Amino acid sequence: MKFNVDYKVGDYFTGVLLETFKEAGISRPRVRPVEMFAEDVRVEFPRSIREDNPLGTKFRALVKVAQKTNKKTGKKIGDPYLVATDKTIDLVNDYSPIKQIYAIPVSDRLYKYVSETPDIIKNPLIRLRENAYKNSIVKVRTYKTTSKGRSTSTAVHSYAIQRSKGICESCDTPAPFETRNGTPYLEVHHLIPISKGGPDHPENVAAVCPNCHRRTEKSKDSDQFNNDIIKKVLAKEKEMGKV
C-alpha cells in the first residue's frame, strides 16, 4: 500500500473527504478516504458514527497519518493509516447514498447489513434516538489526569443536536449561526453535570445556544434555569414515546 504522495507519519491534513463502506471479508463497516490518498488506505473512525449512518455516507475531517510500532523494538507494524480527529468530523449534508444500507452490530465485532424500513428512512431521528438510548452511559468514566477528560457517547451527542432541529432547547430561538458545513451551531449541555454523577443519556442532555449554556453555569438563577430545561427535555422525550 502506498499513499498517492509521500506523506510522513505525524502529518495532519484538514477537510479530507471520507466515506463509510463494506470491505470484502470484514464484518464491521470501515472508512476510507475519497481524495488525496490511495483507495486502500484505511481510517480510524468513531464506531458509533459508522453505525449511525448508512454505507456510503461522506464526511470531512482533520486526519493524521499514523503508524503502529512495536513498543520494545520500534519496528513498524502493518501499513500507515489515517486517524480522524473526533471533534473535526462533519457530515456532508448535501450527499446521501441512494441505497440505504446500515450496519447493525450483532456482537462486539460482528455486524449484519440491512435496509431500513421506509418510516426510519423518512425520519432518521428515530434511528438516532434508538442508538442514543442504546449507547447511553449511565456512569461516565472520568480520567485521573484531568477532571474534564471524560469518555462520552457520540450517539447521544448527535441525537441531541438532531432532536433540537436547530432550535435551542432552552430559549426556543434558532441557533445563532451555521457552521462551515451549513449545520446550526448549538452546544450539548449535560443537565446534571457528569462531574456530579450525571449520565450521558438522552434525558440528561439538551442542545442549547452558547448564551443559554453559559447561563446554566454563571447566572444567579442558574439552578432554576437549568431545572426549567430539564422539564422541557423530559416532556419532549415523553412525547416521543418509549424506546
What residue ranges do the domains of the chain occupy? 1-115, 123-240
* Neighbour-count burial for 60-94, b at 16+ CB within 10 Å, e otherwise: bbbbebeeeeeeeeeeeeeebbbebeeeebbbbee
If pLDDT is split at 50, 70 and 90, which confidence band does 137 have? confident
Q: Which residue has the cell 462531574?
A: 195
Beta bridge partners of residue 56, listed in sequence order: none
Beta bridge partners of residue 208, listed in sequence order: 187
Cβ atoms of residues 48 and 131 within 8 Å: yes
**What is residue 158's predicted lDDT score, i.e. its pLDDT?**
85
Q: What is the mean pLDDT of residues 14-41?
A: 89
pLDDT digits (tens, 9 = 90+) for 151-194: 467 788 888 998 999 999 999 999 999 887 678 999 999 999 98
| Higher-scoring residue by pLDDT: 125, 109 | 125
Q: Is the pTM of this model over 0.75?
A: no
Please state, in angstroms and as integers, the Cα–Cα distance from residue 89 to each residue in 39, 170, 212, following that order. Answer: 20, 26, 25
Please state, in angstroms and as integers, the Cα–Cα distance from residue 88 to each residue in 45, 59, 116, following that order. Answer: 11, 10, 28
pLDDT digits (tens, 9 = 90+) for 204-230: 999 999 999 999 999 999 999 999 999
